[in-house]
Amino acid sequence: MKLKYIFMFLGVMLLGLTACGKKDTPKTASNNPFAGTQWEYIQSSAEEQGEREVLTDEIHFLDETHLVYQHSYKVVKKDGSIKEIHEQEKREATYTYNGLVATATFTVLDKEAGKQQKVKLILTMDEAKQKLTGVASTEGEEDQTITFTRKK
């Protein structure tokens, strides 16, 4: 009878040891505070002639090294309906980070000048991880600063 319990105990131990393989172990948490987060900046103009302009910038950090940036512009009527909307294509870029500062560089087409320009975007997250200050630098132009709020 004791032999039966010993083999049963050994069988349970063997099952316990083989049940968890490498695939079952949880992934270690990333140290990257940006990965998987989404941010937005919305600027709305004062109402003129029953309409207002709304500018929206969004950043989505897809993973450890990739982000997507999108800018949109729309004109909203007084009743809330949309008169016109312009959405730019989503721009993908790679980024690096050091602590709470991420740096991305991507190329945009300057339609007025008819040439491509490189934009360097430096994004700094606050300690509470709820605000993201972005400074965009383009050669020959003044730096632009935008403060994003956390969306997700």
Query: What is the pLDDT confidence band of residue 65, given thresholds at 50, 70 and 90?
Result: very high
Greater confidence (125 vs 87) lies with 125
pLDDT at 81: 85
Across residues 42-57, what is the average pLDDT? 87
Q: Report the distance separating Cα 88 and Cα 86, nearest Å.
A: 7
pLDDT at 21: 55
pTM: 0.71
DSSP state of 48: B
Query: What is the pLDDT confidence band of residue 90, given thresholds at 50, 70 and 90?
Result: confident
